[in-house]
Amino acid sequence: MTYIMESSEESRRLQLQAQADDIRPLLRATGLVRGARVLDAGCGPGEISQTLAHLVGVEGRVTGIDMSEARLAEATRRCADLPQARFLRRDIRDTGLPDASFDYTWSQYVLEYLSDWDAALAEFVRVTRPGGRVVVSEIDGQGMNNWPLPKELEDGAQRFAQGLSAHGFDLFVGRKLFQGFRKVGLRDVRVHVVPQYVVAGTADERFMADWRTRFEALAPAVSPAFGSEVAYREFCQAYLRMLSDPDTLKYSVLVVTEGVRA
């Protein structure tokens, strides 16, 4: 799996993204309970793993897996005082973990990077016990919902999406997971659509910095869709100006899909 967002600032961006919202109500609403054995598939620097570990308590266990040694080192440091948390370098599509070993399998912002995300779903089902829950939180059209939007900026956003797609990144994976969950045999599949962000007016500096980091990291992958790096940079600057426009609405949703292993 190639992580096209990799950059020197990416760990910080991921941490700020995780800190921006209180995810605890969503975790509880989708079946997380104290004492649960939890898999955090694609744990990154461990912000959500830390929250999971606090929620399950010392009676529970959280196993975070990721392919990045740097992210795992950060996660290990972050959770150093939480003995119920451990971290392993594993591919979420082939974890090597025992069958039926988790009560609750969680993944966020990972399947969007995988052209074969169905393989990851099948692995989530395998490692979750019968009666346990699989929960995936994913983007759906992130960055595409803005109004008013000039035609040239709308066209640029479409080229941006095409550039991502050429590298296997799916901006619209969230809407596809309901069917995916049913295909792998999960039952009682439910979908929650929750705000990822809503910016009515001028975006704050944290939000702007998040997008600047994204644009910089994605330049090598996405510039070809614009014909040149210069054209890509012009689009990025126009998009950032739109984000700072006090008369523009910007919003995005997360599609959180949950199901129970039969």
Per-residue pLDDT tens digits for 179-233:
999 999 999 999 999 999 999 999 999 999 999 999 999 999 999 999 999 999 9
In a domain, 5, yes or no: no
Cis peptide bond prior to 195, omega within 30° of 0:
no
Residue 245's domain is classified under what CATH number?
3.40.50.150
In a domain, 123, yes or no: yes
Q: Where in the sequence is the domain holding 231, given as residue range(s)?
A: 10-260
Read off the pLDDT of residues 76-117 as tens digits, 9 standing for 90 and up. Answer: 999 999 999 999 999 999 999 999 999 999 999 999 999 999
Question: Residue 31's CB: how many other CB atoms inside 10 A?
Answer: 15
In a domain, 223, yes or no: yes
In a domain, 249, yes or no: yes
Lowest average pLDDT, out of 19-23, 52-56, 234-238, goes to: 19-23
In a domain, 17, yes or no: yes
Where does the pLDDT of residue 13 fall: very low under 50, low under 70, confident under 90, or very high at 90 and above?
very low
* pTM for the predicted model, two decimal places: 0.91
Lookup: tokens for 64:
């975070």
pLDDT reading at 2 higher than 70: no
Closest CA to 105 of 2, 30, 21, 184: 30
**Residue, of 231 and 13, whose pLDDT is higher:** 231
- Contact present, 222 and 150 (Cβ < 8 Å): no
In a domain, 1, yes or no: no
Q: What is the pLDDT averaged over residues 117-123?
A: 98
- In sequence order, which residues have a C-beta less than 8 Å from that of residue 220 and are 6 or more positions away? none
Q: How far apart are the C-alpha atoms of 29 and 49, rounded to whole Å?
A: 17
pLDDT reading at 19 higher than 60: no
pLDDT reading at 9 higher than 70: no
Read off the pLDDT of residues 141-169 as tens digits, 9 standing for 90 and up. Answer: 999 999 999 999 999 999 999 999 999 99
pLDDT reading at 3 higher than 60: no
**Burial group, residue 53, by CB count within 10 angstroms (0-12, 13-18, 19+):** buried
| Amino acid 20: pLDDT | 47
In a domain, 139, yes or no: yes
pLDDT reading at 17 higher than 80: no
Domain count, the chain: 1
Angstrom CA distances, 21 to 17, 46, 76, 98, 189, stand at: 8, 15, 22, 32, 24
In a domain, 3, yes or no: no
